[in-house]
Chains A and B, each alone.
Chain A
Amino acid sequence: MELVIDRLSKQYNNKIAVDRLSLKLKSGVVGLLGANGAGKTTLMRMICGILKPTGGTITFNGMDVSEEMFRDALGYLPQDFGYYPNFTGKEFLLYMAALKGIERNAARKKCDVLLKTVGLDHAANKKIKTYSGGMKQRLGIAQAVLNDPKILILDEPTAGLDPKERVRFRNLIAELGKDAIVILSTHIVSDVEHIADRILLMKDGQFVFDGTLDDVGMDLEEFYMQHFEEDEEGEQYE
């Protein structure tokens, strides 16, 4: 199982959002850290195949990410997502299961299991519009793993989760990372610190660090802040 990104770029008019990135990923959890505007979401959207790159390629096990087979193996939680207003939590999951091509009976069983896993079994038949932010986020995580994805892309997945929910989420992701490629994008350093096998630090569309927690050699939060202190010092002299 391998995700290969080769000289990937994305340019919007005069702004380069992603700048010639190359990467190879195998199963495990990859933490993608970076400030707002670093290019994390743009990179993740290109990996998911929903944003067209300006240059470069992305392949998963040799297949292009625009192919249906790739989407069949993909699970995605976007940073912001909506829902059809009259859906209950369970109806939403069943709808996503239908789109993911999961047969109805299997989908029902899977939805029940997942709703219990994310702690939403008590609210399964309530409309999503009554859910809190954390509940919506947990529902989003549940839909992302419906199809037992081989590649799981999570964009700011812990936003809105309380500490207990965050710990539960980390355990779930760590478990999933044993058999899948999990890319977890966040600017919450502690999320990455606890579960990531590999850390990517992104700034201005480029990777400024690629390694493990051991390679960092210091507190990850301090290491992360260092890169932005350098940036601020540079700005002072401009």
Chain B
Amino acid sequence: MSDLKKKLQMGFDAPAPIRKEEFLEHLNISENANKSNLEGFLFSQIGYISKSAWVFSLLSLIVAMLGIRYSDQHMIWIISGMTPLLALSIATESSRSERYGMAELEATTKHSLASVVLARLFIISIADLVAMLVITLIGYKAIGRTAVPTMLYVITPFLISVFLELYSVRKLRGRQSFYACIAISFLVSLSIYFIEFEFKTLYKPEFISAWVAAAILALIGVMVQGRKIIKNTEEIVVWNWL
């Protein structure tokens, strides 16, 4: 049979291609064929997160580390009170597109506004979580506690700030939300310092269950607000009535 095929090939010329351009267009083979994938897009977004967000996170980490280095074991509240400032970068990055009038343009691209916001939140969250892990691992020995309670003292004020700031980003527009986020971070920090300074009870072992409850509630709040923010960006592009 293969001999017959070969003889047929030799005996007849293949017809010239017709409507080649149309077919290639249909396959969508173009200069952009070598398109970036999701990981590439995520990686590319690292470079577009504002430098001030990185600087702020780094400063917060340095101050927390100095607090660990030069404070005594009772001054856990210095570390605990610094983490709300880490939360600023999450809230401000999530609203950056709208603040600078880029939201409409970004909403119409392949990797749309929802993807941009999600990517930024993901990157900043990972960076902040790493920072808090470093603080916890270095701090817990210095302050004479175990790792788990230290992690709670570090992450709970952070989560409370993120929750409140994401809520304000949804409700306020433009520069208003930016200033509100700054106010919230400082307010949560100052509240921790004030409560501990006045009552000296916040970090006692008997209150650990309260910290656990606060962390869980704050985490749920963050997830709900985060989902609503993404839904806000998607609402203008995804229709569910079809």
> Do A and B come from the same complex?
yes
Residues of chain A whose beta carbon lies under 8 Å from any beta carbon of chain B: 45, 48-53, 57, 64, 66, 68, 71-72, 74, 76, 78, 80-85, 95-96, 98-104, 106, 110, 143, 147-148
Q: Is B230 an interface residue (CB 8 A)?
A: no
CB pair B100 A84 closer than 8 Å = yes
Closest to A59 in B: B242
- Chain B CB within 10 Å, residue with most, of A52, A85, A96, A148: A52
CB pair B109 A52 closer than 8 Å = no
CB pair B108 A76 closer than 8 Å = yes
The 6 nearest A-B residue pairs measured at CB: A82-B101, A99-B109, A101-B110, A76-B108, A98-B44, A50-B107
Closest to A179 in B: B25
Residues of chain B whose beta carbon lies under 8 Å from any beta carbon of chain A: 30-32, 34-36, 40-41, 44-45, 48, 50, 96, 100-102, 104-112, 116, 235-239, 242
| A61 to B: closest C-beta gap in Å | 10
Q: List residues of chain B with CB within 8 A of the CB of A106.
A: 31-32, 34
Given A95-B48, A99-B116, are A148 and B108 neighbors across the interface (CB < 8 Å)?
no
Given A71-B112, A101-B111, are A66 and B36 neighbors across the interface (CB < 8 Å)?
no
Q: List residues of chain A with CB within 8 A of the CB of B36.
A: 98, 101-104
Given A52-B236, A84-B96, A100-B32, 17 new contacts (CB under 8 A): A45-B104, A48-B108, A53-B239, A74-B108, A83-B102, A84-B48, A84-B100, A84-B102, A98-B111, A99-B110, A100-B109, A101-B109, A103-B32, A103-B36, A103-B40, A104-B44, A148-B32
Give Cα A95–Cα B41 distance, bound, in whole angstroms. 10
CB pair B104 A81 closer than 8 Å = yes
6 contacting pairs across A/B (C-beta < 8 A): A68-B112, A76-B105, A81-B105, A99-B110, A99-B111, A103-B32
